Homo-oligomer: A and B are copies of this chain.
Amino acid sequence: MVKIINSKPEDFLYQQVADRIEQLIRQESLKTGDKLLSVRMLSKEQGISMSTAFQAYAQLEARGLIEARPKSGYYVRLHPKKLPLPRVTKPEPVEQEISLSEMIMSVFKDLASEEVIQFSVGAPSLELLPAAKLNKSVLHALRESKFHGLNYEHIQGNPALRHQVAKLAFNWSGNITSEEVVITAGCMEAIVMCLRAVTKPGDTVAVESPTYFGILQALESLGLKALEIPTCPEWGPELNFLEDALQQFSIAACVFVPNFNNPLGSCMPDEHKRQLVQMLAKHSVPLIEDDIYGEMYFGEHRPKTCKTYDTEGWVMQCGSFSKSLAPGYRVGWALPGKWTKQVVHNKLITSVSGTTLTQAAIAHFLENGRYELHLKRLRKALHVQCLRYLQAIHTHFPPDIHITRPEGGFVLWIELPERVNAFELYQRARQRGISFAPGQIFSTQGKSYGNCMRISFGRPFDAEMERGIEILGKLIRSHLI
């Protein structure tokens, strides 16, 4: 490492050290995601005290240039001032019929294609998943279960798995019994089951704006209307707007993604979650909480959930192993509060029961503590990927964009200059073998996000992904001419 020497005599030594490291970062000798020396090594290499080395890193952290990761060390992060956050969204306050299907199908028909550079899948790529260990759990389930997975599973789901899912609630300070857990074929099935339990066709459901297009499609398929709530890329839905909407409209339910929102990446502060739960309980409005990204946090602690603050059963939390473990296993769950019996019934009449074998395999995987170990690795990998994608976007995209800085999850949300049409951009990118999710599909109000795009950082960053980002950058610039 380059020796760091005093520059300005009035500075404290730790500031000088921090300045020199900043310079290395700005000239890209140290890149986003690079690991820094340990405090001990820095002290040794620079001939400074441990305490000075620690202060230098603290200073760089305060400047937003590096970040500490628990039990791992310090890493270079992006300079946060470089690109601004997207603004709080301003959807029209109207109840909207939904019709997005064609555009979404055209984007997602290639979900399983390997020939496309995928920036459109909001999930980790498969090399980040513990295939070998999961295979062992499948073998265990095949051998040890009485009927080798041939039997119909209990409608409510494998009892051992329900117990494990209930235990996961400990991570978000919840207190759940296995009787409150309903296993589903992934999180979307859970959300649909919950919606069917608390709404009827023609009802209005409040959602964040923008929101995951799958939620909008579910509403559409159930004949429901969407009411989009303004949402902040940092804090999530604007609760004062929601309060007004609850007065003004007859809202049958809310479907929110409070932790690492898809697509905004926002994470509701705990206090907001508490307020939200109280507000909805007061109005007797159920909250369907999509917590599918909650375990994929980059910080020290798993964020709490709205269910954490739910004392009366108004919160129906939905989750899944699809984003963290095995998309193809089709195992998710609902914690439907007051409506548990109704959700079990909906499960019975839609798909009878879930896949027996994959439920047993995941139960075994969790029972052996493998899930927690895997999640630790996955979170670190995703954090590094997030930083590298951000870096590449900074390098290759035009400078007048807004971009989110999520603290978890899989996706970045980018506001391009207003004259860019993201769906047209998508179509041109698709011809170049690149896929991303254009902003239009995240809202019922087509034009609201016509200049936005969602980029997934679920795939490890490599030369191919960099090339993809570079091509996207060029296409955007050509749009701007």
B129→A349 contact, CB < 8 A: no
- Give how many copies assemble into the complex: 2
Knowing A101-B345, A142-B135 are in contact, say whether A355-B327 is a contact too (CB < 8 A).
Answer: no
A150's partner among B186, B192, B328, B345 (CB-CB below 8 A) is B328
| Interface: A211 (CB within 8 A) | no
B196→A223 contact, CB < 8 A: no
- Write the A126-150 contact mask toward B (1 if CB under 8 angstroms, else 0): 1001010011001100100001111
B111→A131 contact, CB < 8 A: no
Q: How far is the CA of A358 from the CA of B358 in the complex (A)?
A: 9
| Interface: A241 (CB within 8 A) | no
A135→B152 contact, CB < 8 A: no
- Write the A429-457 contact mask toward B (1 if CB under 8 angstroms, else 0): 00000000000000000000000000000
Cβ of A148: which chain B residues have Cβ within 8 Å of it? 131, 134-135
A201's partner among B135, B147, B223 (CB-CB below 8 A) is B223
| Interface: A188 (CB within 8 A) | yes
Cβ of A239: which chain B residues have Cβ within 8 Å of it? none
- Write the A220-245 contact mask toward B (1 if CB under 8 angstroms, else 0): 11010000000000000000000000
Cβ of A131: which chain B residues have Cβ within 8 Å of it? 147-148, 150
In the complex formed, the residue of B with least CB distance to A215 is B349
- Write the A341-372 contact mask toward B (1 if CB under 8 angstroms, else 0): 00001101111111111100000000000000
Knowing A151-B112, A221-B196 are in contact, say whether A328-B357 is a contact too (CB < 8 A).
Answer: yes
| Interface: A109 (CB within 8 A) | yes
| Nearest-Cβ distance from residue A266 to partner chain B, whole angstroms | 23
Cβ of A121: which chain B residues have Cβ within 8 Å of it? 152
| Interface: A198 (CB within 8 A) | no
Knowing A188-B349, A196-B221, A221-B346 are in contact, say whether A112-B150 is a contact too (CB < 8 A).
Answer: no
In the complex formed, the residue of B with least CB distance to A149 is B328
Knowing A154-B112, A221-B196 are in contact, say whether A351-B105 is a contact too (CB < 8 A).
Answer: no
| Nearest-Cβ distance from residue A83 to partner chain B, whole angstroms | 32
A126→B151 contact, CB < 8 A: yes
B327→A186 contact, CB < 8 A: no
| Interface: A155 (CB within 8 A) | yes
Cβ of A138: which chain B residues have Cβ within 8 Å of it? 138, 142, 149, 357
Q: How far is the CA of A330 from the CA of B354 in the complex (A)?
A: 7
| Nearest-Cβ distance from residue A329 to partner chain B, whole angstroms | 7
Knowing A126-B151, A155-B109, A327-B150 are in contact, say whether A349-B134 is a contact too (CB < 8 A).
Answer: no
A330's partner among B139, B328, B346, B353 (CB-CB below 8 A) is B353
Cβ of A348: which chain B residues have Cβ within 8 Å of it? 105, 108, 217
Q: How far is the CA of A351 from the CA of B193 in the complex (A)?
A: 11
Q: How far is the CA of A351 from the CA of B331 in the complex (A)?
A: 10
| Nearest-Cβ distance from residue A105 to partner chain B, whole angstroms | 6
A185→B188 contact, CB < 8 A: no
Q: A109-B155, A149-B358 are in contact. List 11 more A-B contacts (CB 8 A).
A: A112-B153, A112-B154, A126-B147, A135-B142, A138-B142, A138-B149, A151-B328, A185-B355, A200-B223, A214-B349, A217-B348
B150→A126 contact, CB < 8 A: yes
